Amino acid sequence: MAGKNFAWWQSGVIYQIYPRSFQDSNGDGVGDLPGILTRLDYLVALGVDAIWISPVMPSPMADFGYDVADYTGIDPVFGTLADFDRLVAAAHERGLYVILDYVPNHSSDRHPWFLESRASRSNPKRDWYIWCDPAPDGGPPNNWLSEFGGPAWTLDAVTGQYWYHAYLPEQPDLNWRNPQVRDAMLAVLRFWLDRGVDGFRVDAIHHLFEDGRLRDNPPNPDWKPGMSPARRVIRAHTMDQPEVQEAVAAMRRVADAYPGKRLLIGEAYLPIDRLMAYYGPGLSGFQLPFNFHLLSTPWEAGAIAALVARYEAALPPGAWPNWVLGNHDRSRLASRLGPAQARVAAMLLMTLRGTPTIYQGEEIGMTDVPIPPGRVQDPWERRVPGLGLGRDPVRTPMQWEAGAGAGFTTAAEPWLPLAEDWTSLNVAAQERDASSMLSLYRALLTLRRAEPALSAGAYGSVVVGAPDVLAYDRWDEATGRRLRIALNLGDGPQMLAGFAPGARVLLSSHLDERSGPIQGAMRLRPAEGVVLELPAGA
Ligand code: NOJ
């Protein structure tokens, strides 16, 4: 058990569910809420504390739920509000917290607000979105680019103005400078908090405001062919604008008005110094601004140690850290690092100081699945093909068992193809295998729960003098109990020396018998990570 003074979201572990691909209950090839309900016991057995569910609100699915047409409903493909209420109740009965995805930056172009807004220049909701006259040549008002390719402006032929969209044209940006928009969007938070959700993961928060003067973004001298076309410019005027901070604080005030500790997580891909601003003055912002920096750091002991040091040092007083190694937008660990290092990565994620988020399927070591051209779903891949930007490969259905449909669906074809390896790489097979990735995650989560040093303790980097080894200590300030984590990020063996008598292995990522005292030194096998118990006072 973690220390008494820690909130659930500090000592706990978050598990991200991408609902379209988690569990289908009605045979339409798309996952749904009743499906999630049937898998809650799996998540309890895994040992996580909270589920974050990617968007389930009504949506034309231009961006698979990140284009919301009704902020206070459930899309029929996922079920009903009653299904949602049942899921929250069932999760709470099992001690699981429920975090919803909240998409404040943009709605769907089919949202009634946008339909009204675009109806005429004088419509009362015109100003709910960001409209602008064409440039003198009739083109877009400035050089802003859509994250998903092409200009960030689309012309509405009827009213003769362009609307702004950081993402797809089907995802018009809401105008948060309009107080009515702000009130309506804060009311959305209350709607779900009233239904008992424990928090939100707030989508694309760094995009919430753009420069009021609509100044051009400067060109990016580092852009090269092969990179996302959106990176041709530096987003100086379209990202991380000062006004966002007060909007985040307003969201936080709404959450804090509810009993229990409700959590706000912010999705912002920003440099560490800028990310820290999202904790807000006096920690009045997000409790957890997502820290994605491990995703872009080379898999090298020195680079990761330096990142952790920089991040820890930058945290404002009292701010709680967090770590992410995968999500529905990023390549899977086993594909990025290979299956052996993916196990080391699992140990890293579960033993760093701060709240970890596990993306569904990582716990069984799923890999990126090649998608045949005819099966591509992701609008990004469709608009900017061939650069490897598409996210379908990391969104394929969860592999539950070896039978038809992988236990995910009874449909002949799920919405995205199953990985070819599903008959061998699946939950059922790994439950029977004491050394599987799933067994490793369970062991790590069990250890984390049993050791306050891991779930809530202090962190200190350790120099062990072995190349490729990332080492650090975690200790419980209350009891002085100290653990050392040593991760071999290389493919050769490494020696760890200098252990005081009494040090012993608690867990090896190889999950074979390695317990017992260490006699002065120990050999780490290639791609092996260990959690060690150090003798008191060491
Ligand atoms: C970030 C989400 O994670 C991603 O999946 C989505 O496409 C964009 N925001 C737009 O909402």
- Across the range 268-283, mean pLDDT stands at 97
Ligand 1 neighbour 406 (Cβ under 6 A): no
Element housing 249 (H / E): helix 244-256
The structure tokens listed for 410 are 């009874």
Predicted confidence (pLDDT) at residue 499 exceeds the cutoff of 90: no
Rounded to whole angstroms, how far apart are CA atoms 15 and 94?
A: 15
Q: Is 329 in the pocket of ligand 1 (CB under 6 A)?
A: yes
**Which pLDDT score is estimated for 465?**
85
Q: How far apart are CA 59 and CA 61, in angstroms?
A: 5
At 1, is the pLDDT very low, low, confident or very high (cuts 50, 70, 90)? very low
Q: Is 265 in the pocket of ligand 1 (CB under 6 A)?
A: no
Structure confidence at residue 4 (pLDDT) = 63
Q: What pLDDT does residue 3 have?
A: 52
Quick one: tokens of 307? Answer: 């990142």
* pLDDT for residue 537 is more than 80: no
Ligand 1 midpoint to CA 394 (Å): 14
Question: For ligand 1, is residue 208 a contact (CB within 6 Å)?
Answer: no
- The candidate with the shortest Cα–Cα distance to 30, out of 408, 440, 433, is 408
pLDDT at residue number 472: 97
Cβ(52) – ligand 1 distance below 6 Å: no
Q: List, by residue number, the catalytic residues.
A: 203, 267
Q: How far is the CA of 216 from the centre of ligand 1 (A)?
A: 24
Percent of the chain with pLDDT over 70: 98
Q: Is 197 in the pocket of ligand 1 (CB under 6 A)?
A: no
Per-residue model confidence (pLDDT) at position 254: 98
Please give the model's pTM, rounded to 2 decimal places: 0.98
Expressed in angstroms and rounded, the spacing between residue 97 Cα and the centre of ligand 1 is 22
Taken as a whole, the chain contains a residue count of 538
The protein residue with its alpha carbon nearest to ligand 1, atom 5, reads 329
At 444-468, the pLDDT tens digits run 999 999 999 999 999 999 988 888 9
Check pocket membership of 173 for ligand 1, CB cut-off 6 A.
no
Q: Which atom of ligand 1 is nearest to the CA of 267?
A: 1
Residue nearest to atom 10 of ligand 1 (CA): 66
Ligand 1 binding pocket includes 66 (Cβ within 6 Å)? yes
Calculate how far, in angstroms, residue 295's C-alpha sits from the geometric centre of ligand 1: 16
CA distance 245 to 242: 6
Tokens 């791609």 sit at which residue? 527
Centre a 10 Å sphere on the Cβ of residue 500 and count the other Cβ atoms it contains: 12
Q: Which of 299-308, 415-424, 499-508 has the lowest mean pLDDT?
A: 499-508
CA-only gyration radius of the chain, Å = 24
Q: Strand 131-132 vs strand 153-156: parallel, antiparallel, or unpaired?
A: unpaired
504-508 β-sheet, strand order = 458-462, 469-475, 482-488, 529-534, 504-508
518 vs 134, residue with greater confidence? 134
Q: Cα–Cα distances in Å, from 216 out to 149, 236, 345?
A: 17, 9, 40
* Cβ–ligand 1 contact at 9 (below 6 Å): no
By most ligand atoms within 8 Å of CB, the mutation choice from 106, 206, 329, 389 for ligand 1 is 329
What is Dmax (Cα atoms) for the chain? Answer: 80
CA of 111 to the centre of ligand 1 (A): 17
Neighbours of 504 (CB within 10 A): 15
In sequence order, which ranges of 74-230 are alpha helices (DSSP H)? 81-93, 112-119, 179-194
Atom of ligand 1 nearest to the CA of 63: 7
Query: Beta partners for 517?
Result: 504
Q: Burial code of 446-459, b = ≥16 C-beta within 10 A, e = fewer?
A: ebbbebbbbbbbeb
54, 56, 68, 167: residue to mutate for ligand 1 pocket, most atoms within 8 A of CB = 167
Residue with CA nearest ligand 1 atom 11: 66
Indicate which residue's Cα is closest to atom 6 of ligand 1: 66
Dihedral angle computed from the Cα positions of residues 157, 160, 165 and 167, in that order, rounded to the nearest 10 degrees? 30
**Residue ID of nearest Cα to ligand 1 atom 3:** 329
pLDDT digits (tens, 9 = 90+) for 205-263: 999 999 999 999 999 999 999 999 999 999 999 999 999 999 999 999 999 999 999 99
Does any ligand 1 atom lie closer than 6 A to the CB of residue 380? Answer: no
| Among 291, 177, 303, 149, CA closest to 241 | 177
Instruction: Give the Cα separation of 127 and 161 in Å (integer).
Output: 12
Q: Give 29 Cα–ligand 1 centroid separation in angstroms.
A: 22
Pocket test for ligand 1, best of 105, 201, 203 (most atoms within 8 A of CB): 203
CA–CA dist 467, 490 (Å, integer): 8
Calpha distance 277→311 (Å, rounded):
13
Examine the pLDDT at 497 and tell me if it is beyond 90: no
Ligand 1 contact via 63 beta carbon (within 6 Å): yes
CA of 23 to the centre of ligand 1 (A): 21
CA 183 – CA 214 distance, rounded (Å): 24
Give distance in angstroms: CA of 205 to centre of ligand 1. Answer: 10
With a 6 Å cutoff on the Cβ, whether 166 touches ligand 1 is: no
Other beta carbons less than 10 A from residue 502's beta carbon: 13
Most ligand 1 atoms within 8 A of CB, residue of 56, 63, 147 to mutate: 63
The best mutation among 64, 66, 71, 105 to test binding of ligand 1, ranked by most ligand atoms within 8 Å of the C-beta, falls on 66
21-26 — which CB contacts under 8 Å span 24+ positions? 21/360, 21/395, 21/396, 21/397, 21/398, 21/408, 21/414, 21/415, 21/416, 22/360, 22/398, 22/408, 23/398, 23/400, 23/408, 24/397, 24/405, 24/408, 24/409, 24/410, 24/411, 24/414
